[in-house]
Amino acid sequence: MALIRAGLQRLANVFSGAQAGVLSRFATHLAPIESKSVPQTTKDVIAECNNLIEKNASRNFAIVHLLGKQWRVTDGDLLVIEGFWPPTIGDKIKLDKVLLAGTKDFSLIGRPLVQPGLVEVIATVISKGLSHTRTHFKKKRRKQYMRINFQRAPQTILRINSVEIASKINEAPKNVF
């Protein structure tokens, strides 16, 4: 009996859970847009985050997609990017593919990217050189097989100048591109 009761309770939760029951989801989908109201807590949280952004309360960080890799960057970081990449020394670059940005107290998670223009990551190209010589050595015993190759990959060193949350959260996006 107790088992069945527990099951029933779980079922009731599925249908009308406090946050996202199946029925509640339908209800919100069916409701007209005008009557949809943003809950007060959401408003409070967004206002608090905007307040923190305005005060520039703490250091920001961002996760940036660059040449197939994801880097967690903050002000003053150095990145070494391997492979051919056109920018030359002294270039100031805005890194636009921001996957996530955050401060000490909150994070903005992109789906997959944060809204364009919201987060500004600016970097300077410091150095473009070659890596140390890497040896690729292959040998198979008793098979008269040996290959040796040497290679040096192009390396670009980037200095992250600033990670800034440029505009307010929940504002209409500016047309940046």
Binding span for another protein by CB under 8 A among 27-35, 47-55, 58-66, 109-117:
58-66
Residue 97 within binding range of another protein, rule CB under 8 A: no
The distance of Cα 75 from the centroid of its chain, to the nearest Å, equals: 16
Residue 51, classified by CB atoms within 10 Å of its CB into exposed (0-12), middle (13-18) or buried (19+), is exposed
Contact between 4 and another protein (CB under 8 A)?
yes
Q: Does 129 bind another protein (CB under 8 A)?
A: yes
Rounded to whole angstroms, how far apart are CA atoms 92 and 90?
Answer: 6
Phi and psi (nearest 5°) for 58? -145, 175
Give the C-alpha separation, 64 to 171, whole Å.
22
133 binds another protein (CB under 8 A): yes
Of 84 and 177, nearer to another protein (C-beta) is 84
Work out whether 122 is an interface residue with another protein (CB under 8 A).
no
- Verify binding: residue 115, another protein, rule CB under 8 A: no
Give the nearer residue to another protein in terms of CB position, either 34 or 132: 132
